[in-house]
Amino acid sequence: MTHLMETYKRLPVAFVRGAGSWLEDTTGKRYLDALSGIAVCGLGHAHPRVTRAIAEQAGTLLHTSNLYQVPLQERLADRLCEMSGMEKVFFGNSGAEANEAAIKIARLHGNNRHLAKPSIIVMETSFHGRTMATLTATGSRKVQAGFEPLLTGFLRAPFNDVEAISKIAQNANEVVAILVEPVQGEGGIAVPAADYLAKLRQICDDQGWFLMLDEVQTGNGRTGKFFAYQHAGIMPDVVTTAKGLGNGVPIGACLARGVAASVFGPGNHGSTFGGNPLVCAAANAVLDALEEDGLMARATVLGDRILTSLRSRLAGNNRVRDIRGAGLMIGIELAEPCGELVAQGLDAGILINVTRDNVVRLLPPLTMSDAEADLVVDKVANLIEA
Ligand SMILES: Cc1ncc(COP(=O)(O)O)c(C=O)c1O
């Protein structure tokens, strides 16, 4: 570890292989994975379709360049647009990069309209990444501290507060967009009111702003639809995703429609690796599995099963303040900080995460069996009851 920069406090375990919902460490101990590498391995580990696609593509062609046509990238973009109702896609390599593209689209649009300081409304307790623009957009002083000067051109509002956005609309004349997560993940599995996105859509329509959704964590079937906004019956102007799209290969995507889809022209943005043949082969295989294996509907069924069981098992437990979720994004908010549960989970053979100090976060694979889902509930409830 000594030659790695100390950007992560790592737990004392190393995994050597995975299969489905299970990981195995260097000693042969097995762990039930209720985190999926933070919403990345939505199809579980070593999914045969993805493994096959990567192996075949690695033996054919890894990379060319975006100087040339990349048919697998075209195919992936076609499919993403068909599944989402969006029109154009830019591919990068991570969630932060997908959001950078969204932020640049909003700014370029504002500058094209001769605004002196095009601004984007972002939310408290949000998370958008670790690059300078995305950490500025992120609603966490912990993420920002020490990296000043932050960027200008961002206004902040409380999450799930439509009134606050309306107030900004009355006073600010250089806003070009709202950037918001449909469900805040790092922010503690914060699920807004059911009509939140529709109301934001209305404000954006009235004001001529772009509605830009960060679906880096909520996307790719995790909440039960390909994108979480599809539950709300609205369309964003821009949507970003990453994590689950490659099931472990690094890929991010920024999708746009309408005016937003034609803001970028040649030379405005780019990425050496973005959307290369290898990652696109993997992502196309992920989409095959999501669609053909009915995994998005499965996320809803599994999520309901886990949420209902956790609620009944932990009912009356005075350590528990709230149990909430959207599909397979599940949060158990405790009355006090509970970071120690992560290491206790490792001892007990389950991978979980704690966010915002006191929210146990579960992001299990969409491929889990009912029995594995029940085991997640049992192991997590045991940890909380201990
Ligand atoms: C909602 C959201 N946006 C952006 C990011 C950043 O993604 P990445 O770490 O791939 O840059 C994350 C990562 O947790 C996220 O949850």
Q: Which atom of ligand 1 is nearest to the CA of 97?
A: 11
Residues 229-288 have pLDDT tens digits of: 999 999 999 999 999 999 999 999 999 999 999 999 999 999 999 999 999 999 999 999
Whether the Cβ atoms of residue 251 and residue 242 lie closer than 8 Å to each other: yes
Q: Which atom of ligand 1 is nearest to the CA of 99?
A: 4
Spacing, Cα 215 to ligand 1 middle (Å): 9
Q: List the Cα angle 142/186/33 in 5-degree steps.
A: 125
Nearest residue by C-alpha to atom 7 in ligand 1: 95
Closest CA to 145 of 136, 156, 134: 136
- The best mutation among 8, 125, 126, 128 to test binding of ligand 1, ranked by most ligand atoms within 8 Å of the C-beta, falls on 128
pLDDT at 333 exceeding the cut of 70? yes
Strand pairing of 320-326 and 353-355?
Answer: unpaired
Q: What is the mean pLDDT of residues 348-372?
A: 98
Spacing, Cα 95 to ligand 1 middle (Å): 5
Residues 54-112 have pLDDT tens digits of: 999 999 999 999 999 999 999 999 999 999 999 999 999 999 999 999 999 999 999 99
DSSP letters, 12-79, are S--EEEEEBTEEEETTS-EEEESSHHHHT-TT-BT-HHHHHHHHHHHTT-S---TTS--HHHHHHHHH
- Read off the DSSP letter of residue 215: -
What are the distances in angstroms from CA 58 to CA 251, 280, 281? 16, 12, 9
Q: Ligand 1: does its nearest atom lie under 6 Å from the Cβ of 100?
A: no
Q: Ligand 1: does its nearest atom lie under 6 Å from the Cβ of 187?
A: no
Q: Ligand 1: does its nearest atom lie under 6 Å from the Cβ of 217?
A: yes
- The best mutation among 243, 249, 254 to test binding of ligand 1, ranked by most ligand atoms within 8 Å of the C-beta, falls on 243
Residues 284-308 have pLDDT tens digits of: 999 999 999 999 999 999 999 999 9
Q: Which residue has tokens 């956790």?
A: 310
Task: Give the pTM.
Answer: 0.98
Closest CA to 182 of 230, 131, 137: 230
pLDDT at 204 exceeding the cut of 80? yes
Closest CA to 34 of 303, 226, 301: 303
- The best mutation among 216, 240, 353 to test binding of ligand 1, ranked by most ligand atoms within 8 Å of the C-beta, falls on 216
Residue 260 has, within 13 A of its CA and on its CB side, a CA count of: 32
- pLDDT, residue 172, reads 85
Spacing, Cα 228 to ligand 1 middle (Å): 15
Q: What is the mean pLDDT of residues 298-323?
A: 98
Residues 23-52 have pLDDT tens digits of: 999 999 999 999 999 999 999 999 999 999
- pLDDT, residue 94, reads 98
pLDDT at 6 exceeding the cut of 80? yes
Measure the CA dihedral 49/218/77/36, to 10°.
-30
- Bridge partners of 253, per DSSP, are 91, 241
300 SS3 class: helix
Strand pairing of 210-214 and 175-180?
Answer: parallel
Whether the Cβ atoms of residue 86 and residue 80 lie closer than 8 Å to each other: yes
Q: Ligand 1: does its nearest atom lie under 6 Å from the Cβ of 214?
A: yes
pLDDT at 2 exceeding the cut of 90? no
Q: Ligand 1: does its nearest atom lie under 6 Å from the Cβ of 94?
A: yes
Residue type at 376?
V
Question: Which token pair is 74?
Answer: 């075209």
Residues 118-176 have pLDDT tens digits of: 999 999 999 999 999 999 999 999 999 999 999 999 999 999 999 999 999 999 889 99
Residue 330 — pLDDT band, cuts 50, 70, 90?
very high
Calculate Rg over the CA atoms of the chain.
Answer: 21
- pLDDT, residue 180, reads 99
Closest CA to 121 of 44, 62, 175, 47: 175
Question: Which token pair is 212?
Answer: 């830009």
- The best mutation among 135, 212, 217 to test binding of ligand 1, ranked by most ligand atoms within 8 Å of the C-beta, falls on 217
Question: Which token pair is 222?
Answer: 């995790």
119 SS3 class: strand
pLDDT at 356 exceeding the cut of 90? yes
- pLDDT, residue 285, reads 98
Q: Ligand 1: does its nearest atom lie under 6 Å from the Cβ of 353?
A: no
pLDDT at 1 exceeding the cut of 70? no
